[in-house]
Structure 1
Amino acid sequence: MPYFRSKYFFKLSTAGLISCFVFSACENDLKKIKEISELEVIKPVERSKDVEIIFSDSAKVKAKVEAPVMLNHTVAKPYREMPNGVKITFYENLKPVNVITAEHGIQRESENLIELHKNVVAKNEQGDIFKSEELIWDGKNKKIRSTQPVQIFMKNGDIINGTGFESNESFYPYTLDNTTGIFNVNENPGFTQ
């Protein structure tokens, strides 16, 4: 009889362990469901396609933002996300003076900022090309800045690298900290011997 009791006890212990695993699995599943439902709340309320936003001052177009997709997030600080690319064209007297493209953008309307991320490329009216992984357009102060490395390909062939980039909306003039570069030097400056 003691043998049967221990065997019976073993079966009960095994059944108890299995039920603990099942209940703990249910608990984990409930946690996952709660996490997923919280993510659903964070999802954007609005999805727009082929978006064009015009920024103007005194009825004059100052900038145009174009994006194939825009997601409107309504969290504590609402923002708009452009996950499939963005293009910003800046104007002076209705003439384009600078174009910036990026793979990803975020507009923070309350701060009057547009953050551009991933493969950011800008070209100014002088023909200089700017490349970085991040540029931030501060619409309030009409400045463009970055703390990330920036590479500038000058129209004359010079290449400038640096960080701490800041410029106006036309990308000229600009400042760049910690600069290094490759500069073309005229080997025959015109001096006679």
Structure 2
Amino acid sequence: MKQFKWFTGIFLPALFMAVLLLACENDLNQVKKISALEASKPVDSTLGVDVIYSDSAKVRAHMTTPLMLRQNPTDPNKGFYEMPKGVKIVFYDDKLNQKVAHFDADKHIVSTVTSDYAITSNMDKLIELRKNVVVKNTEGAVFTTQQLFYDTNKKLIYSNVACQMTKPDGTALDGTSFTSNETFTNYAFKQGKGTIATSGKLGQ
């Protein structure tokens, strides 16, 4: 009887620990395999990126980011660019051409967009901005959201998540989504609500 108690009191805990260690080792090996696969993915990194978007000799936008990661650079059709340290995009009016872009570009700014993160692909020419997205236009309006898309082909900017807009005159609007042109002068909110500042009395 004493021998049987020793067997159940010593051997079973030891067997349990062996199984547990084996399971941990298998999990560790799986983690190593996943890490090795991630490390083997081709990535190009570039510091201090400065990109000009133009159309028919007209400068449309200027994008800057401190760090750009190019994922899958071996396939230009499937590769995409990631900007994990944030991005800034400046939009210009139609009067700014490539010849004078470096001299008086600031005079032609119509809106600016900043975010903490951005990603874009080579195929759809769509830039997605995420986290603390802030837009400012020349009218002083400020748009804020957590996700914003810029379709460079259609010259369309839109968001499918909650967004807010405030103006210096006290106007404040909220919406579940919105669309806008590049200058943020022609925009529309979906299910918008808020306060619109007016001058004078209503009905006059």
Give TM-score, length-normalised by structure 2: 0.79
Counterpart secondary structure, 1:171: coil
| TM-superposed deviation, 1:10 | 7.7
- Looking at structure 2, the residues matched to 14 and 160 of structure 1 have their Cα atoms a distance apart, in angstroms, of 65
| TM-superposed deviation, 1:155 | 3.8
Flag the 1:185–1:142 CA change in 2: closer, same or farther, 3 A: closer
Which has the larger share of strand? 1
| TM-superposed deviation, 1:17 | 4.8
State the one-letter code of the partner of 2:57: A
Matched residues, percent identical? 31
State the one-letter code of the partner of 1:146: S
Aligned to 2:162: 149
State the one-letter code of the partner of 1:105: A
| TM-superposed deviation, 1:87 | 0.3
Q: Comparing 12-21 with 73-82, which one deviates more in the overlay? A: 12-21
| TM-superposed deviation, 1:45 | 0.9
Deviations 1:62-110 (A, max 9, x none): 1111001111111894211111111001112222111111111111221
Counterpart secondary structure, 1:111: coil
- Looking at structure 1, the residues matched to 91 and 177 of structure 2 have their Cα atoms a distance apart, in angstroms, of 21
Aligned to 1:51: 49
Is 1:74 paired with 2:68? no
Highest CA radius of gyration, 1 or 2? 1
Aligned to 1:41: 40
Flag the 1:156–1:13 CA change in 2: closer, same or farther, 3 A: closer
- Looking at structure 2, the residues matched to 183 and 9 of structure 1 have their Cα atoms a distance apart, in angstroms, of 78
Q: How does 1:102-181 map to 2 (within 5 A)?
A: 102-181=115-194
State the one-letter code of the partner of 1:49: L
State the one-letter code of the partner of 1:46: D
| TM-superposed deviation, 1:189 | 6.7
- Looking at structure 1, the residues matched to 13 and 118 of structure 2 have their Cα atoms a distance apart, in angstroms, of 55
- Looking at structure 1, the residues matched to 202 and 11 of structure 2 have their Cα atoms a distance apart, in angstroms, of 96
Flag the 1:19–1:158 CA change in 2: closer, same or farther, 3 A: closer
Q: How does 1:87-102 map to 2 (within 5 A)?
A: 87-92=88-93, 93-94=95-96, 95-102=108-115
Counterpart secondary structure, 1:35: helix
Give TM-score, length-normalised by structure 1: 0.83
Flag the 1:138–1:15 CA change in 2: closer, same or farther, 3 A: same
Deviations 1:17-74 (A, max 9, x none): 55444433332221121122122234x6111111111111122211111001111111
Aligned Cα RMSD in Å?
Answer: 2.8
Flag the 1:152–1:24 CA change in 2: closer, same or farther, 3 A: closer
Deviations 1:126-173 (A, max 9, x none): 222111111100011110000111111124321111123111111111
Counterpart secondary structure, 2:23: helix
- Looking at structure 1, the residues matched to 156 and 69 of structure 2 have their Cα atoms a distance apart, in angstroms, of 25
- How many residues end up aligned between the 2 structures? 189
Q: Comparing 122-131 with 22-31, which one deviates more in the overlay? A: 22-31
Contiguous gaps of at least 5 residues in structure 2: 97-107
